Chains A and B, each alone.
Chain A
């Protein structure tokens, strides 16, 4: 079993839809959870960063972490065509200066 599992999609939704992206993980030692957005041929851009369990909201984006289920989610409200990208979840065990473990990424396409 891989440490981080993420459905690669592709996921296609109409503009304005609510999008739910998810990752599961196996290592209970993970404490820091991130979501990155990556456009084609570009480096990943940090969207959300959370520590331990709970919710975090930033504009149209909400990140949820459920450590008891080893499950994290990213919700995108009022999705826009510009949200079309690959979304990568990432997590790490420790704080500063440790490598991230990435999911494979989910490709999202939002049609206008």
Chain B
């Protein structure tokens, strides 16, 4: 149980284009989903928290107009990197939580490696 998938697992795009990454909870309903970015040999940096049906809460320093997050259902959240630049190249990981008392665990997706050329 508690499986989270991400698609695509790897994407290369040209500078200036947009890329959409999907995060799905496969066997549970995720009230809350989180998006992280991880650079090589670094820890996970939280980008934003999204609750189903409401606007995402972005961490300080994360441009909400550049990283568009949509959490339209209890099993799907999407992250769109708009007008991507080479410095956006990173490993993007989502996690999902049931968001109920006693079930605070977060389960992570396998990650999406984005390379912007």
Contact = CB atoms under 8 A, between A and B. Distances in A.
B106 to A, nearest CB: 6
B34 A99 contact: yes
A103 B42 CA distance: 10
- Give the size range of A's interface with the partner: 20 to 34
A104 B97 CA distance: 22
Interface residues of B, number: 32
Contacts of B99: 96-97
Interface stretch (B13-21, B78-86, B108-116): B108-116
Contacts, number: 68
A100 B46 CA distance: 8
Contacts of A97: 31-32, 49, 51, 97, 99, 104
Interface of A: 8, 32, 34, 36, 41-46, 49, 88, 92, 94-100, 102-105
B61 interface: no
A98 B6 CA distance: 21
Contacts of B32: 96-97
